Structure 1
Amino acid sequence: MLKLKFLPVCYSLLLCSVLTATWTQPTEACTRILWNNNDLAVVVSRTMDWPESTEPVLTVFPRGMERDGGRTGDTITVKDNPARWTSKYASLVTTMYGIGTADGLNEKGLSGHLLYLNDTDFGLRDTKRPGVQAGLWLQYLLDNAANVKEALALMKQIQIVMTEAHGHKATVHLAIEDASGDSAVLEYIDGKPVVHHGKQYRVMTNDPTYDEQLALLKKQDYSNPSSDTPLPGNVNPVDRFQRASYFSAILPKPNTEREAIAAILAIARNVSVPFGAPYKGFGIYNTEYRTAINLTDRRYFFELTTSPNVIWADLDSFQLAAGSPVMRLEPDSISLSGDVSEKFRPASKPPF
């Protein structure tokens, strides 16, 4: 059963980075920013930091997609009792390596983000429960849940199974949020699911586990930030976390969507790892891309770090009925700018 934890109010960001400067294991510095109390729109942002390209492709899936949760590309990951389902909801996502979904939202305003967690342990395979390979964990929820509450209920019906791509194991945890501002962080520790559910859960890093992250953050106080508040400026996870928490605490109320997206992307850029920086041996990887989502209006923003432009697409502008084509757009082009909804093209074959 899911272990639900309701802990004290914490932060306003989700960072996938280590919270202790002495942590010696390899880390990734991904960042997710949730802003669910601005009275305008629920908006969220994340950075993807990785040692190589994850081959991101913006993809629109209509309703009625037939899924096999036991496959990782052409490889059968779950041999016994793989989960199979038909998607109830359409979604706009960023895929990774063509075998899973790293980030995205669905037509009901549920969104989510896979982030690295070194301590992830999905446990021994229980063949009595349908298995979903970890790369499709988020897609399963986007396909079938309208909000965070429904997503958590669905998690009781399946088992997430470890997979691998490009030599990297999918040791991940998941952050989800919906258009109401509800939020949850899902982890598997020592083979057991741990869920932190509540609107107050706006910040997360990958290692250590979320329980420990919450305890560590209590030592940092940005509840009364000022222009004299000292901020660290290094690239280590603790310094980035403190900067992100500080800037999140001083965000002004936005008057328009443009202001809200600008605000969370500004923080995401502030805590990003510069592209091409010489961090060999640091266990810290370059930021590959950043996304932002307006859950209220179902608009998806994407910024590749090697491109000077932010692009976006409106999920509602696509044909989403069952039988409509899967649409895709490769974002690695400096010619792309602004609203790219009309630049998506039908996929010759769905990625999964």
Structure 2
Amino acid sequence: MCSKITYRTGTGTFITGRGMDWNDLAANTELWVFPAGMQRDGGVGSSPVGWTSRFGSVVASFYGSASSDGMNTAGLVANILYLAESEYGEPSAGGRETISVGAWAQYYLDNFATVAEAVQATRDDPFSIVGPVLPNGRVALVHLSLSDSSGDCAVIEYLDGHPVIHHGPEYRVMTNSPVYDQQLALNAYWDLIGGHKMLPGTLSAADRFVRLSYNLKSSPEYEDRTMAVASVFSQMRAIGMPLGMEDPDHPPNVSTLWRAIADHDARRYYFESTVKPSVMWVDLDEVDLASGAQAMAVDVSRDGLAGEVSAEFRPREPFTFLA
């Protein structure tokens, strides 16, 4: 399930793309805009972490109760991807506050302008993550990618109850299992072989990681913004799983339901559904994300949505995080 890259353009800006692979068309994704100044909490446990959002954001929801992807007004992007090896530990271990996995990405989007700020806060191991069972029967086991307008990146995995962090601009590719250390080792092996000679072609996350890495480093760094965005879309489409396909022996290998592309510098968030094929986007400067503004949403399954869709958002009560 899921793939992510961060692409460098020819003008030195960055674009992050991800695909969402999942086996449940009822995952009910919508696009939301959340203003600064919102009072938030982690949504679970007797002592959930609390905060007031510093930044506004646009996010893609999941099952109407999780922020699975998004970008904030500072250009920070957060992507949630499946990781079967995740071990969050016991809730409230060591007296820490708790946060639902559905709120994890939103916590970073609300609070931090850069990857470096987010990583520094995470190194303090500030909370326990709680991963509930999803409506499709799977436990919400995930890891998280962060990227910002400078090209800085981080991958955060919870193993043995604590965060393991890979931080640096070199960590621009992410898929799923195995854990990130092992993904890097496997990719190093294929780098020695050389992708122009042979690339692994199975549906596995490890093979997708290798192909994404090769494609990313082989792609031209376009100066034209339209071509740069198109390059990221093409790379995410090339790694996607066709609708209806599923590997029963490896449940994470399932159909791609949607793709999201975040242009950090332009503060533009693109979204493409594979079920309602069209490309829409939100310019963050076209929506009111100031403190005191209303949360708003748009249903991406509607017919006819394409182009810049900020005028299509309508006020809504913010969703409650997975518990």
Equivalent residue letter for 2:68: A
Equivalent residue number for residue 285 of structure 1 = 254
| Structure 2 gap segments, 5+ residues each | none
Number of residue pairs aligned between Structure 1 and Structure 2: 314
Aligned with residue 237 of structure 2, among 266, 269, 279: 269
**Offset of 1:159 from its aligned partner?**
2.7
1:132 aligned onto 2:99: yes
Note the C-alpha offset of 1:168.
2.4
Distance change >3 Å, CA 187–CA 105, structure 1 → 2? same
Amino acid at match of 1:183: C
Instruction: Give the match for residue 145 of structure 2.
Output: 175
SS of residue paired to 1:265: helix
For 1:302 and 1:223, the matched residues in 2 are separated by 35
**Structure 1: 4+ residue segments shifted above 6 A:** none
Q: Distance in 2 between matches of 1:211 and 1:137?
A: 22
More helix by share: 2
Question: 1:221 is paired with a residue of what secondary structure?
Answer: helix
| Partner of residue 171 from structure 2, selected from 194, 201, 218 | 201
Asked whether the 8 Å contact 1:244–1:267 carries over to 2, the reply is: yes
Residues in 1 aligned to 2:203 and 2:49: alpha-carbon distance in whole angstroms: 41
Structure 1 position 304 matched with structure 2 position 273: yes
Structure 1 contact 92–106 (Cα < 8 Å) conserved = yes
**1:39 alignment counterpart:** 11
Q: Secondary structure at the match of 2:182?
A: helix
Tell me which of 78, 82, 89 is aligned to 2:45. 78
Q: Cα 1:262–1:94, aligned 2, differ >3 Å: closer, same or farther?
A: same
Contact 1:123–1:192 (CA<8 Å) still a contact in 2?
A: yes
Q: Please say which of residues 177-186 and 272-281 is displaced more in the overlay.
A: 272-281
Structure 1 unmatched runs, 5+: 1-27, 72-76
Residue in structure 1 matched with residue 306 of structure 2 by the alignment: 337
| Aligned equivalents of 1:232, 1:121: Cα separation in 2 | 28
Deviation at 1:68, TM superposition (A): 2.0
Equivalents in 2 of 1:164, 1:216: separation in Å?
31
Separation in structure 2 between the aligned mates of residue 237 and residue 271 of structure 1, nearest angstrom = 10
CA RMSD after TM alignment: 1.9
| Cα distance, 1:224 vs structure 2 | 6.2
| Contact in 2 for aligned 1:222/1:245 (Cα 8 Å) | no
**Is the Cα–Cα contact under 8 Å of residues 222 and 249 in structure 1 kept in the other structure?**
no
- Match for 2:34 among 58, 61, 65? 61
Kindly state the Cα deviation for residue 278 of structure 1 after the two structures are TM-superposed: 5.5
Aligned to 1:153: 120
Contact 1:43 1:261 in 2 (8 A): yes
CA displacement 1:271-310 (0-9 Å, x = unmatched):
1000123544443210010000001111000000012211
Instruction: Trace 1:78-97 onto structure 2 (pairs within 5 A).
Output: 78-79=45-46, 81-97=47-63
Shift of 1:123: 1.4
Residue in structure 1 matched with residue 189 of structure 2 by the alignment: 219
SS of equivalent residue, structure 1 residue 169: coil
Q: Name 1:323's counterpart in structure 2.
A: 292
Q: Is the 8 A contact 1:109 1:178 kept in 2?
A: yes
Normalising to structure 1: TM-score of the pair? 0.84
Structure 2 counterpart of 1:47, which letter? G
- In structure 2, what is the Cα distance between the partners aligned to 1:140 and 1:234? 35
Residue 232 of structure 1 deviates from its aligned partner by 4.6
Aligned-partner residue type, residue 293 of structure 1: A
- TM-score if structure 2 supplies the norm length? 0.91
Percent sequence identity over aligned pairs:
39
For 2:104, what is the secondary structure of its paired residue?
helix
